[in-house]
Amino acid sequence: MSSRKQAPPSFPWTEGEKYSSNNNNSKFKEIFYYFFTLNTIPYVLVRCCALLFLFLSASWLLLLLLCFPPTTTTTSSNDVVREQAQVAEPQSPFKIPTCDKNMSVYVYTLPPQFNLGLLSQCNNLSIKANMCPAVANSGLGQPLNYSRRGHSAVTSSWYTTHQYTAEIIFHARLQNHPCRTQDPARASLFYVPFYGGFDALSKYREANLTARDELTFSLVDYIQAQPWWQRNHGKDHFMALGTVVWDFMRTMSNASSSCSSSSKVRTPGTLLKLPAAVNMSVLIIERHPWQPNQHGIPYPSYFHPSTWREMAAWQRKMRLMERPHLFSFVGARRKNKAAIRNEFIRQCGESTRCKLLNCEGPDGVRRCLQPREIMRVMTRSQFCLQAPGDTPTRRSTFDSVLAGCVPVFFSRHTAYSQYAWYLPGDASRYSVYIDEKSSASRGIEEELLKISSEKVKMMREEIIDLMPSLTYAHPNATDFGFGDAVDVALASLAKHIGELIN
């Protein structure tokens, strides 16, 4: 049997089919297999590049972690809001007062006849004028558009404020003050909101002294019956009065007289002569210089800002204000002790460097009741003469500070002995003093010309810096970003009463 040689196994393709141009997919597969599957040089290069990239990336990440390790602190939503607010809102440049256990104020809720009840009869509060417009808006008076046409940014902060409404403004400020407490057990200060000034005005010429003092005696009886009065016998209690001290200083020897004066004579009350009032601290726009329980507070002027930005804007305006007048005087003639005003009016009228706003006659009275007229004169003056009037102090002193006008005093009791809590001890830093009995008072222009322009600039800067503490902020404002006249009074009062008790 002849044997046959076994044929070799056949391939799925023939030699001719293997390189046929009709089989492109097979060629791509073969190339892919060659470059990326076999251990060829291109494949090794690709792998090396990939490993090198991974190594460099890991090394860079490790270096970042070593140089800038992650923090583990967490940020609350309140912190985020606070940080955003700090970025969005600029900070106040003024010193902001704080409250602590030594300055916690309890405000008595008195029967209305001692405060708000008096205001309900506002048309009868004064024999000289209807006081209803003056006591409106928590004592600020009627809103004033103190701005030029087209510039209304400051309208909400300016009012035709009456000089005797400090007691109303003070009360309204403390109602919303952050240092107020509703718990008398926690209070270090006790405020008695008695509108004694308006009680005095309403009985300006009351001849019957029993009727004159009736409300005063009722107040004292009411306060002394309160349990918190007994704790320190009233030494931690205080009141704020909006008229001058001489309205409350009648001696007790005449207190029970039924009719000791004519109805044409101003009759003082006895409030500040009563033992209970002597135990208390009294904040008043004009104090008796030798009574240690009395402390001067500023007369209210016309500016009552709600924010620190309004205050800063006004200060900036006063720094840049052009002042063509060397000095000015706003007022009318007087007799007796205030006759020096007549000399001022004469000198000012004869000088080309003085601006006079004479308050005499119907037209003069009308102009001097308009804050625009007063501020127009003072803001354009370098010095403002502050002569005594019916009493040593003047509201005009605080108008001049608000205007950036350096006050010139002729009596030490106009400011120096009055407002120790508010004014620097070195009076030459912010004012000029000329003794009214000296020969210098007869040549005011010559005396003021002796002061160098550098000194004038320094004094003006000082009084502009004093503006916030001599201003009553708007009573409805909270967190306004500066310490106003009420804040200064509370801080000083807390220190004073703490020394008395401890």
**Tokens coding 144:** 């004033």
pLDDT tens readout for residues 420-432: 999 999 999 999 9
* Most confident by average pLDDT, 8-17, 26-35, 110-119, 330-339: 110-119
Which DSSP string do the residues of 6-26 spell out, in sequence order?
PPPPPPSS-HHHHT-TT-HHH
Question: At residue 80, does pLDDT exceed 70?
Answer: no
pLDDT at site 88: 55
> What architecture (CATH level 2) is domain 317-466?
3-Layer(aba) Sandwich (3.40)
CB 247 within 8 A of CB 267: no
pLDDT at site 61: 66
Q: Which position has the higher pLDDT, 126 or 172?
A: 172
- For the chain, the C-alpha Rg in angstroms (whole number) is 40
Least confident span in 93-107, 151-165, 355-369, 374-388: 151-165
pLDDT at site 156: 76
Q: Which position has the higher pLDDT, 262 or 274?
A: 274
Least confident span in 94-103, 200-209, 315-324: 94-103
Report the first-to-last Cα separation within the chain, whole angstroms.
142
The whole-number average pLDDT for the span 375-385 is: 97
Q: Round the average pLDDT of the chain to a whole number and report it.
A: 84
pLDDT at site 449: 97
Residue that the structure tokens 């985020």 belong to? 80
pLDDT at site 425: 95
Chain Cα centroid distance, residue 485: 7
pLDDT tens readout for residues 214-246: 999 999 999 999 999 999 999 999 999 999 999
Least confident span in 58-72, 260-274, 308-322: 58-72
pLDDT tens readout for residues 297-346: 999 999 999 999 999 999 999 999 999 999 999 998 877 766 788 999 99
pLDDT at site 295: 98
Least confident span in 79-83, 317-321, 394-398, 478-482: 79-83
pLDDT at site 269: 86
pLDDT tens readout for residues 133-148: 999 999 999 998 644 4
The whole-number average pLDDT for the span 99-104 is: 82
Q: d(Cα 411, Cα 392) in Å, to the nearest integer?
A: 7
pLDDT at site 152: 44
Question: At residue 385, does pLDDT exceed 70?
Answer: yes
pLDDT at site 153: 43
pLDDT at site 308: 94
User: Three-state SS for 456?
Assistant: helix
Structure confidence at residue 278 as a pLDDT band (50, 70, 90): very high
**Tokens coding 276:** 């209970």
Least confident span in 157-171, 397-411, 466-480: 466-480
The whole-number average pLDDT for the span 485-494 is: 96
Question: DSSP code of 425?
Answer: S
* Most confident by average pLDDT, 8-12, 156-160, 217-221: 217-221
pLDDT at site 479: 79
H/E run at residue 357: strand 354-358
The whole-number average pLDDT for the span 114-119 is: 96
φ, ψ (nearest 5 deg) of residue 345: -65, -40
Structure confidence at residue 50 as a pLDDT band (50, 70, 90): low
Percentage, residues of the chain above pLDDT 70 = 76
pLDDT at site 159: 96
Domain chopping of the chain, boundaries: 105-145+155-251+266-300+486-501, 317-466
147 conformational bin, left if phi > 0, alpha if psi -120 to 50, beta if neither: beta
Question: At residue 45, does pLDDT exceed 80?
Answer: no
Note the helical H segments in 225-261.
227-232
pLDDT at site 1: 43
Angle between helices 361-368 and 371-378 (to 10 degrees): 80
Structure confidence at residue 252 as a pLDDT band (50, 70, 90): low
Residue that the structure tokens 């502009």 belong to? 464
Note the helical H segments in 37-148.
41-67, 77-88, 116-119, 132-135
Q: Bridge partners of 386?
A: 409
Q: Which position has the higher pLDDT, 378 or 93?
A: 378
